[in-house]
């Protein structure tokens, strides 16, 4: 699998999970987008560090 495929799947999982939490009232609907973006950004940084560490 490529990074694009993994990232796409992960974004959909985050959106679905956020939708469930928002529908139950655990978090606000506007928070879903913010939290999903933050998790994707942090995941990208971690992925980059790990990939560079393997090649070094």
Q: Tens of pLDDT along 20-54?
A: 988 999 988 888 888 888 888 898 888 888 888 87
Q: What is the CA radius of gyration of the chain?
A: 14
Q: Are 43 and 10 in contact (CB under 8 A)?
A: yes
Q: Tens of pLDDT along 9-18?
A: 888 888 898 8
Q: Tens of pLDDT along 31-40?
A: 888 888 888 8
Q: Are 3 and 47 in contact (CB under 8 A)?
A: yes
- Number of C-beta neighbours around residue 18 at 10 A: 20
CA 24 to chain centre: 20
pTM of the model: 0.65
């Amino acid at each position: 699998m490529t990074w694009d495929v993994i990232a796409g799947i992960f974004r959909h999982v985050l959106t679905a999970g956020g939708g469930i939490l928002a529908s139950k009232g655990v978090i606000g609907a506007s928070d879903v987008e913010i939290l999903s973006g933050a998790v994707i950004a942090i995941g990208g940084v971690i992925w980059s560090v790990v990939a560079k560490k393997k090649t070094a």
